[in-house]
């Protein structure tokens, strides 16, 4: 039995990703950071806006709101790539909500990161995950970060069971009215200083549930958010790169 385990380990080798020391190339069908052609005709942009199920496209400014975008790819399809093409770049988080209204460039987190956060949490970070509504797709991809391939703990980052043991909250979902009190209480229970990460289209804008009377259109409406991570759900690498850049762990 013992030798079988050793044999399997030798045959399987180390499966943990080398990221961020080594770049990862995601599959061709992955839709990451949109590349926008602002020279595109207004007629094509209008077609894209018409098919966008999230109303994420501003026709006049020729922008895409990544807070709302679910990366369905319909805009790329109807414009034949003339207005927008989705790249395989998974690094697209921001510290400012308004900077996710994209016309070509995305914030460089390495430059804009709060240096005090780097100093305080750069080597040991405990996060409490709160699902504040939503469909659980975000939670599924967050759980993937604990698998051997990503091995989140090698960066000194762990998910904890109680907000009293946490340095911050990682929040998903649009924040349903039933979860609003629980979320505020979890925030209150975390010792200062604390950070708030909103992950996924729902947490950033309400996502597909936006303007439903049973939710409040995202975390920012009740708490100050330090890091915004777009996606529906965000790819595990999108969330991982955002946290590593924000805390200067890379």
Tell me the average pLDDT of the chain: 88
pLDDT confidence band for 117 (50 / 70 / 90): low
Q: Return the top range by mean pLDDT from 96-100, 119-123, 236-240, 242-246.
A: 236-240
Report all structural domains of the chain as residue ranges with CATH numbers, in order of start: 115-247 (3.40.50.12280)
**Is a pLDDT exceeding 70 seen at residue 52?**
yes
Contact status, residue 90 vs residue 26, Cβ threshold 8 Å: yes
Look at residue 119 and tell me whether its pLDDT is greater than 90.
Answer: no
Per-residue pLDDT band at 233 (split at 50, 70, 90): very high
pLDDT tens string 148-191: 999 999 998 999 999 999 999 999 999 999 999 999 999 999 99
Residue 103's pLDDT band (boundaries 50, 70, 90)? confident
User: What residues contact residue 31 under an 8 Å CB cut-off, 6+ apart?
Assistant: 71, 73, 76, 86
Distance CA 244, CA 235 (A): 14
Confidence category of residue 246, pLDDT binned at 50, 70, 90: confident
Which of 156, 162, 238, 165 lies closest to 197, judged by CA? 238
Q: Which two tokens stand for residue 245?
A: 């850049």
């Amino acid at each position: 039995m013992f030798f079988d385990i050793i044999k399997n380990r030798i045959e399987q080798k180390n499966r943990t990703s080398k990221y961020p020391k080594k770049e990862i190339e995601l599959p061709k069908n992955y839709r990451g950071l949109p590349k926008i052609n602002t020279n595109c005709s207004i007629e094509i942009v209008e077609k894209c806006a018409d098919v966008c199920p999230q109303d994420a496209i501003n026709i006049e400014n020729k922008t895409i709101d990544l807070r709302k975008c679910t990366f369905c790819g319909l805009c790329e399809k109807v414009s034949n790539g003339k207005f927008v093409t989705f790249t395989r770049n998974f690094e697209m988080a921001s510290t400012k909500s308004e900077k996710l209204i994209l016309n070509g460039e995305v914030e460089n987190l390495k430059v804009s990161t709060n240096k005090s956060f780097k100093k305080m949490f750069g080597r040991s970070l405990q996060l409490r995950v709160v699902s504040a509504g939503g469909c659980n797709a975000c939670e599924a991809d967050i759980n993937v970060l604990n698998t051997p391939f990503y091995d989140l703990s090698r960066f000194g980052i762990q998910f904890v069971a109680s907000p009293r043991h946490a340095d911050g909250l990682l929040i998903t979902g649009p924040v349903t009215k039933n979860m609003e009190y629980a979320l505020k209480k979890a925030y209150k229970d975390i010792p200062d200083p604390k950070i708030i990460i909103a992950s996924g289209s729902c947490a950033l804008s309400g996502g597909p549930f936006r303007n439903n009377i049973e939710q409040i259109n995202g975390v920012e409406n009740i708490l100050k958010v330090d890091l915004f991570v777009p996606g529906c759900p965000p790819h595990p690498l999108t969330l991982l790169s955002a946290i590593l850049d924000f805390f200067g762990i890379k």
